[in-house]
Amino acid sequence: MFNRLANPLKSKSFFLFGARGTGKSTFLRSFFSDEESVLWIDLLDSGWERRMRADPSALLTAIQALKVPPGSKRWVVIDEVQKCPKILDLVHKSIFSDKNTLFALTGSSARKLKRDGANMLAGRALSYSMFPMTHLELGSAFDLNRALAIGTLPELSCSTVGTSDREARKFLEAYCQTYMKEEVFAEQLARRLDPFRSFMECAAQDNGHTLNFESIGKKIGVSGKTVNGYYKILVDTYLGILLYPAHPSFRKKIAQKPKFYFFDPGVQRCLSGTLDIPMVESTNDYGDAFEHWVILEAWRLNELREVGYTLGYLDNYGGLSVDLVLEKPRRNSIYIEIKSARMVTAGHLKHLKIAKKSDPSLRCICLSRDSVRRIENGVEVIPWDVGLDELFPRSTQL
C-alpha cells in the first residue's frame, strides 16, 4: 500500500476531484479507516444511482439511520457525485442544519456538475485533487522510464509492478475506451462522438505543443470553436491541463494560445497510437516525454502541497522560449528549462542565461537527469526530482 500525498482536513466537508482511476475511492477507504461512523454511497453502483435519482431525500433517511457514538462526527462519502448532481442540494441542507454530519464527495466531471447547475455548496466544502501516482508516492518502486512509457495510474503502479507491456497496453486501451463511453457519451458531454474520437487522437499527438484550434478543426471536420470546447471537456473531466503563456496581464495571457498536457503519459501515448513504440533515450520522443512528465509532476505537487504557483510557459517572448514558468503574486518568477540529458551542456542553458542576464532577480533552473548539481552563470542545474521537491516543499507559507 502506497501513502498518497493528498491530505484533506477532517474538520470540514470536502470535494475530492480527479480523473477516473486515480484512486479517489481507495484513498478515502484508507483515510476513513479509523472512523467509526461512515456511510458509503457509490453512485457508480446502479442501485444507489437509481435510488438517489428517484428519491434524493433517501439520502437524509440513510444519514439519520447511521448510528454515531456520543461526541463523534458522522461521515458520508458519496462517490462520483456528478452522476446525481441534484443530491448536492440535500448535502447543502444537511451541512447547514446538522453540524455533526460531514461529507466527502468525489467527482470526475466538473463539467457535468456545472452543466446541470449543481449546488457547489457555496464554500461550505473544501476542494482537493487526486492524480496518478507521483514519484514521491511510489518511492523506491518508481521507475522513470516506465513512467514515461505507460504512466503511473494506480492500477498499473500499485497492483503489479512487474505488469507486462502487453497487459499495460490492454489496460490503457480499456481505460481510454471506458472514458469515451462513460464520461463523454453516457453523460452527453459531446454532441457527436465520432469527431470527438478523432479529436482525442489529434490532442494526444499535439500534447505539449502550442494549440491551433482552427487547424485541428479542419483535420476532424468541426469548427475551431468546437475544438476549443473539446479541450474544455478534457480539462473539466481532469484529463489534462492548459498552460498559458506567462504574462503580467491576465487578460493578455488568456488571449494567447495555450498548450495542453494530458494528465498521464500512458494515456497520452495510448490515444496517440504510440504505446508500442519503445521509449529510447536521447531521442526527441524521449525528450518530449520527459518534459511532459516533469510538468505533470510540477502540476501535481503544486496542487497536493498547496504551494499556490500559477504554471505557464514562454514561447518566443522577447526571443526567449522557456518550458515552464512558475508565478506567484508579488514574487519573482521562476524560469525552468527541462532537459532529458544526463549531462547538461552550455547549449541547454542558452535561453536561461539570457533571461538571467536581462533580469538578475529571476530564478533560472534547469531540471534534468544530470546528477551533478551546480550553478553556471547564475543558472541552477538541479536533478529533476531534487528540484521539484525544493520548489514544491512539504509545507510552505503562502
pLDDT in tens, 21-52: 999 999 999 999 988 789 999 998 888 889 88
Average pLDDT, integer, range 297-326 = 92
Q: Specify the pLDDT at position 16.
A: 96
Give the SS3 label for residue 327: strand
Q: Could you report the per-residue pLDDT of 170-198, keeping only the tens digit for each?
A: 999 999 988 877 777 766 566 677 888 89
Structural domains of the chain in order of their starting residue, each with its CATH number: 14-129 (3.40.50.300), 135-279 (no CATH), 287-391 (3.40.1350.60)
Q: Could you report the per-residue pLDDT of 311-324, keeping only the tens digit for each?
A: 999 987 767 899 99
4, amino acid identity: R
Q: Which residues contact 76 (CB under 8 A, 6 or more apart)?
A: 38, 39, 41, 59, 63, 66, 91, 94, 101, 102, 103, 104
Average pLDDT, integer, range 321-348 = 94
Average pLDDT, integer, range 110-116 = 73
Please report which confidence band the pLDDT of residue 254 belongs to, taking 50, 70 and 90 as the band edges.
low
- Of the candidate ranges 246-260, 343-357, 373-387, the one whose mean pLDDT is the lowest: 246-260
Percent of the chain with pLDDT over 90: 64
Q: Strand order in 240-245's β-sheet?
A: 259-262, 240-245, 310-317, 320-327, 334-339, 363-368, 379-383, 374-376
DSSP assignment of 245-265: EP-S-HHHHHHS--EEEES-H
Q: Specify the pLDDT at position 68.
A: 80
Q: Which residue has the higher pLDDT, 329 or 352?
A: 352
Average pLDDT, integer, range 292-319 = 93
Reading the block at residue 262, the C-alpha cell is 494530458
Q: Which residues contact 72 (CB under 8 A, 6 or more apart)?
A: 36, 37, 100
Q: Specify the pLDDT at position 57.
A: 86
Q: Specify the pLDDT at position 69.
A: 78
Q: Specify the pTM.
A: 0.92
Residue 327 CA, chain-centre distance (Å), reads 19
Q: How many CA atoms lie within 13 A of 193 on its CB side?
A: 11
Q: Which residue has the higher pLDDT, 372 or 55?
A: 372
Percent of the chain with pLDDT over 70: 91
Please report which confidence band the pLDDT of residue 369 belongs to, taking 50, 70 and 90 as the band edges.
very high
| Inter-residue long-range contacts of 158-165, CB under 8 Å, 24+ positions, other chains counted | 158/1, 158/2, 158/23, 158/133
Q: Specify the pLDDT at position 34.
A: 86
Q: Specify the pLDDT at position 109.
A: 86
Q: Which residue has the higher pLDDT, 255 or 108?
A: 108
Separation CA 123–CA 138 (nearest Å): 33
Q: Specify the pLDDT at position 310.
A: 95
Residue 208 has pLDDT above 80, yes or no: yes
Q: How many CA atoms lie within 13 A of 249 on its CB side?
A: 4
Q: Specify the pLDDT at position 398.
A: 40
The total of other beta-carbon atoms located within 10 Å of residue 341's CB is 16
